[in-house]
Structures are given as C-alpha cells and as structure tokens.
Amino acid sequence: MKKMLLCSLVLVSVFANAQQTSTVKNIIPVPASVTEKPGTFILKNNFSISAPNDADAMNVAKQLSAALSAPTGYAGTIKNSGGNIQLQLLSATDNTIGNEGYKLSVTSKAVTISANKPAGLFYGMQTLLQLLPPSIESKTTVANTNWTIPCVEITDEPRFGWRGMMFDVSRHFFTKAEVKQFIDDMVKYKYNLLHWHLTDDEGWRIEIKSLPKLTEVGAWRVNREGKWANTGNPFPNEPKTYGGFYTQDDIKEVIQYAKERYVTILPEVDVPGHSLAALASYPELSCTPGPYEVSSGAPFMNWFNGGHEGLIDNTLCPANEKVYDFLDKVFTEVAQLFPFEYIHMGGDETAKNFWAKSDQIKALMQKENLKDMNEVQSYFVKRVEKIVESKGKKLIGWDEILEGGLAPSANVMSWRGMKGGITAAKMGHQVVMTPTDFVYMDYVQGEPSVEAPVYASLRLNKAYQFEPVPDGVDPKLILGGQANLWTEQIQRYRTVQYMMWPRSLATAECLWSPKEKKNWNDFANRVQNQFPRMDAAGIRYARSIYDPIIKVKDFKGSPEVSISTEIEGLDVYYSIDESIPDNYFPKYSKPIVMPADAEHLKVITYKNGKQVGQLISLSIDQLKSRERGED
C-alpha cells in the first residue's frame, strides 16, 4: 500500500510539474528571458496587492485585483506595502527593461512585479495572468479551480515602441463599447497603439462641431445586408438608416479608457481619396459636380493590374482653397481631442483620373509648376502637413504620400509591401511597417471555400514571418508595426474577433519579442494553448490553423490533389464517395487523383485522435477551378 501511495504521489508530482512547465511556456508574446523554478504560488481568498503611492501604479493594482476577483470569487485588498502580490516601481532606473519592460518573480510565498514605469507593471500583469489557469479569463466565478502560478523569474521588454492595431470603424460602424472591447482584447498581448480609422467613403464617424453636416449626413447611408460590394446604388429618397458616429464626449471617454490601459490612439482622417462621406456632406469640396452619396457598398472604383481609377470622383480637390479651410477646421478639433503627437491623413488609393480632366487642376499645375498627378497629390500632402503642424502635431500617412515627393517632416506607414518603408527610411523619415503580405487581418486565413470571400489570403504561418526591419535599413527609423483590420466585409464585432485572432498573436510576438526568440513550431503550440483562454474570455477566434492546405494540378486530365498542414501533428482523412469522413477513413499520405465519376473531395483533420478541423468539401468544379488558379 505504501509503494502504491508513493507511486501515486510521484505521478501527481510529475503531472503537476508538467502542468507548471506548459503554463510558463504558453506565454504570448514570448518573454526575453524566462527561468523556471520548482514550486507554485497558490492564490487564496483575501489575497492582497501592494502598490506604491502612485496614481498610475494604483490603477494597475485595481485592474489586477478586478481581473483576479471576477473568476475566483475571492476578495482582494490593495495597500501600500506587505501584499503577497507586490507591484514595485524601481527607485533607480533599470536600463535592461526600459519604460515598458518589467521583471516578474514568482516564489511559493509571493509574486513581485517590478518596473521603471507603471506601463511596465501593466505588461507584467498581462504575463502574470497568462501564468494562471485559462479560467482566469472568465468574467464570472469558476468553481473547483486550483488558482496556482508556477514559480518563475522573467525579465522582459518590448523590441518596438509602436505595437499597433488598426480598427476600421468607417466601412461598418462599431459602438463605443465595442471599441473598448477591442482595446481590452489587444492589451492582453501587449499591443499599445490603436490606429482608429474614422473616415472613409462609407461613413464619417467623428463629430466635428464646426462642420455639423459631416455627421448629420456623412455618418449615415442606406442599409444594405448580404455580400459586400454586391449591392446596388441607393434608390431615390431611400432612407439612410445605417451608420453612427462618436460624439466628442465619446472620443474623450475612449481616449481615457485607452490611457488607463497604456494604449495610445492614432486618429486617421483619410484624404484626399476615400472622401465620399465628406463630399456627400459638403459637395463643393470636389473638382467634379455631384450629386454625392455615402457609399453603401456599390462599386465605385475600377481596379486593374497595376492601378485603379474612379468610376465616380471620391476625392477632395487639391485646387480648391475651400478644401484647406475645411481641413483646417477638421484637424483643429481632432488635434484638440487626441493627445497623441501624430495625426494620420490617409493619402492612399487616390483616384486621380478625374483630376486629370479638371480645369481647376490644370490651372493649379500651371501655377505651381506641377508635372503630373503624383505631384498634384504631393502638393496636397504638403499643404496638409503644414495644417497638421500648425496644430502642434506630426503627419503620418500611407506610403502613397511618397509619390511626387514626400512632405519634409512626414512619416510613412508602409502597406504596399516593405518597399515604401524602405524608401522613406533611406530618405531619413521614420516608418511604421504594416505590409499587406503579413499583417492584413481581413484576408482569408484558412481554407478559402469555408471563409468569407476576399481577394487575398494570409495564414498564421505567413503572419509569423513578419520582420519589421528590412536588411540595409537603419533600425532606429523603424518605429514598429501594426496589424490592420479593414471592415468592408465585417459587420459584427464577433467577426472582428474571428479575423483578428489568432493571427494578431503573430504580429504581437513579432513586435514585442526578441527576433532570435521566434520559433514557428513553438509559437504554433503556444497559440493552440491560448485557445482555452480565449474560450474562457468569450473571445471568438478562428481555428484555421487546423485547416488543411489543398493544392490541385492536372494529371492526365484529372485533378490531382496534394494536401499539407500548417502545423505539425495533424492527421488528414478524406473521402471521395460522398461519405462524411472521420478518423477511420483513408488517411492522406500521397497525392489523390480524382476518379472520373467522383463529385466531391471531403477532408477533415484530427490531432491526437480528436477532430480539430472543420469538414472541407470541394466539388470537382471547385478543384478544377483551383487547378486553373482561379481560387
């Protein structure tokens, strides 16, 4: 009996140690330095948190107490000293952790987070929460859980200061509460900047008191549901019932909410293109006579290989002085609202074909000695830069602002690959890297046949390959990077989450963690271990990591299907006889040549004997389309 009891205790100890090790190794983004220690700290009722007599540090303590109390049901107290969870601001600056870094020490008796600044305490708190069981993310009490934290020593700091997420609230409007939820979701993984895309063709979302029509008219459009860009133009006098905007009080509330979570907000007013909402409100700002309507999804741009042109003019007129008076009013109020040093002017995808036909533009070109439409846009950007600088702010824009000559002090957000950022950096301008290749979160993320149709794909593995500093570029000029979410096809916040997670975990690690710490297989395992945490938090996420990658080529007139997986450890099973496969069906091991009488290929993935992927069913026509490169 004693031997059996001893064996049981050993097994329990081994299991507990395995649990401890896996918890420490599940952290995203991976810390700079981790040293695991034996033992655990047990969180108990009446836990106490001590923090210095500093308003910001106390605010972190209150947030930590709330995060611990809600799922555990435990009562916690906050005091200035003697807590079993201690938040400490260092009296002497520790140069190894900077302003956002931290040191986290967990022993069996106490938890200590130390930092130079309160921001570091906040990020240390995020790591601490990831060391607890996944149920810690629950908003309600979870019974029968051992709230243990493995003993560990962590030293950590971010690689980049600009760790952003862009949220497009113009194409579809999201409420103030949803914007706050977006902030809550992002800070869990140490993002610190919200790029708020507030204006576009589909809606103007920020109150400008001196220009009331922007929200009276520009914030509203006719309601269209179904597939985006598959809708017709508004009927005459059709009610404009879809939309919304943020009052200036709303904006201030969100800014304060973000500040308390160490998130800076970058406002974007997208000009001179993407301006239909502004033109619907003030049509006299165009080079082209109206009438104008806020876009409800009907196509208004012709895209072709290597360029685009407008079907209607959605641009502000660079030759119209009223435009600069208008922008002066807009940026005056934006600058007064947002404390961040930058304002984003957009500047992307300007359809210049209407400018080329405008007598006003031709006169401007002659007067200012402008050679082409790119120089016309550059003229506009430089005028906007002077307006923004007159408000005490710095200008940043998408990489098109390089065309025709970059404004003297402007900084660049490089989205069309890395090229624009490289060019700007070599000119001495600061750059935020946000290339479509790696960080566009509205792209298809898994098997295209079961995802919303989008023109491009970005799987998690590709997102994890993001390296913000290109070879040959001064790293000091790369501020950082960000993940971008455009919402043309995203109408609900649950879909926002589905598109952002888990791919934004990849961007988070690329921006926070040391470059040499990146390891795809390790990251992929940590991502899967984050899923229970997201389940507990009620965050929707995509399980596309389990989708097989299906490629097709012709084999003597028949589709030959090759299947691979994004992560290790997946088994793929399939059927070609219209049955629904499970793990007793044929296991994929070599390319499948589809028989002439087959109508569908059905595929499913398993891991460790359990189904993890969704059923994928592709018809022969779909396979042949993929063979031709049409899918």
Question: What residues are annotated to the active site?
Answer: 349
Angle at CA of residue 357, ends 353 and 362, nearest 5°: 115
Q: Is the dihedral of CA 189, 191, 196, 200 positive or negative?
A: negative
Counts of helices then strands in the chain (DSSP H, E)? 18, 28
Are the beta carbons of 406 and 398 closer than 8 angstroms? no
Cα separations in angstroms, 234 against 281, 312, 354? 16, 15, 23
- Rounded CA separation 523/503 (Å): 11
CA distances from residue 361 to 166, 272, 353 in whole angstroms, order as listed: 33, 14, 11
Q: What number of other Cβ atoms are within 10 A of residue 592's Cβ?
A: 23
Q: Which amino acid is at 217?
A: V
As beta bridge partners, residue 266 has 195
Are the CB atoms for 352 and 279 separated by under 8 Å? Answer: no
Structure tokens at 618: 């592709």
Nearest to 316 by CA among 357, 362, 270: 270
The per-residue DSSP string of 256-291 comes to HHHHTTT-EEEEEEEESSS-HHHHHH-GGGSSS---
